[in-house]
């Protein structure tokens, strides 16, 4: 199923894959992330609405990312990975560094969050490149 060159099945699979990746990432690094963010376990318990919003955002992200990959001149795992890295370095990494520096957050939070977004983009890039 395609929409303007974007494979919607690949988008859905990429959103699911990146949601699972995030669950594993923060499942493993949750305690370190809470310390770096200055939050308690009680403050970070996800509720169903937050999880739903998170998944919808992952779906939107995957759709836009699929469009970027498609419009870059061909959809493959290679273009998915190249696009993931370029978007991560040029947009995600830079904005996280700026935001965390102005917020006075520790570098450990920046590393954990940026690692998560790199993993999300790589996961989505591979899935979109493979299924499209």
The pLDDT of residue 46 is 86
On whether residue 106 sits in a domain, the answer given is yes
Provide the domain limits for residue 8: 2-28+48-131
Q: What is the pLDDT of residues 21-69, one digit of tens each?
A: 999 999 999 999 999 999 999 999 989 999 999 999 999 999 999 999 9
On whether residue 38 sits in a domain, the answer given is no
Domain count, the chain: 1
Please give the helix or strand (H or E) that residue 65 lies within, else none. helix 48-71
Non-local CB neighbours of 58 within 8 Å, separated by 6+ positions: 15, 18, 19, 22, 120
The pLDDT of residue 72 is 85
Is it the case that residue 130 has pLDDT exceeding 90? yes
Specify the pTM: 0.93
Confidence of residue 109 (pLDDT cuts 50, 70, 90): very high
On whether residue 33 sits in a domain, the answer given is no
Strand segments (E) across the chain:
2-3, 6-7
The two structure tokens encoding residue 22: 């995030």
Q: What is the pLDDT of residues 78-99, one digit of tens each?
A: 999 999 999 999 999 999 999 9
On whether residue 17 sits in a domain, the answer given is yes
The pLDDT of residue 2 is 65
Give mean pLDDT, residues 9-28.
Answer: 97
Of residues 72 and 28, which shows the higher confidence score? 28
On whether residue 119 sits in a domain, the answer given is yes
The pLDDT of residue 1 is 63
CA-to-CA distance for 18 and 116, rounded, in angstroms?
9
Rounded to the nearest integer, the mean pLDDT of the chain is 95
On whether residue 81 sits in a domain, the answer given is yes
The pLDDT of residue 106 is 98
Give mean pLDDT, residues 105-114.
Answer: 98
As beta bridge partners, residue 7 has 2
């Amino acid at each position: 199923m395609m929409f303007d060159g974007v494979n919607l099945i690949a988008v859905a699979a990429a959103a699911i894959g990146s949601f699972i990746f995030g669950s594993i990432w923060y499942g493993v690094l949750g305690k370190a992330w809470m310390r770096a963010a200055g939050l308690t376990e009680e403050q970070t318990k996800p509720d169903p609405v937050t999880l739903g919003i998170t998944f919808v955002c992952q779906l939107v992200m995957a759709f836009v990312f699929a469009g970027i990959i498609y419009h870059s001149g061909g959809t493959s795992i290679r273009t998915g990975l190249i696009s993931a890295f370029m978007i991560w370095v040029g947009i995600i990494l830079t904005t996280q560094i700026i935001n965390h520096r102005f917020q006075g957050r520790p570098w450990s939070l920046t590393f954990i969050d940026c690692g998560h977004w790199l993993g999300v983009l790589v996961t989505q890039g591979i899935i979109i490149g493979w299924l499209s």
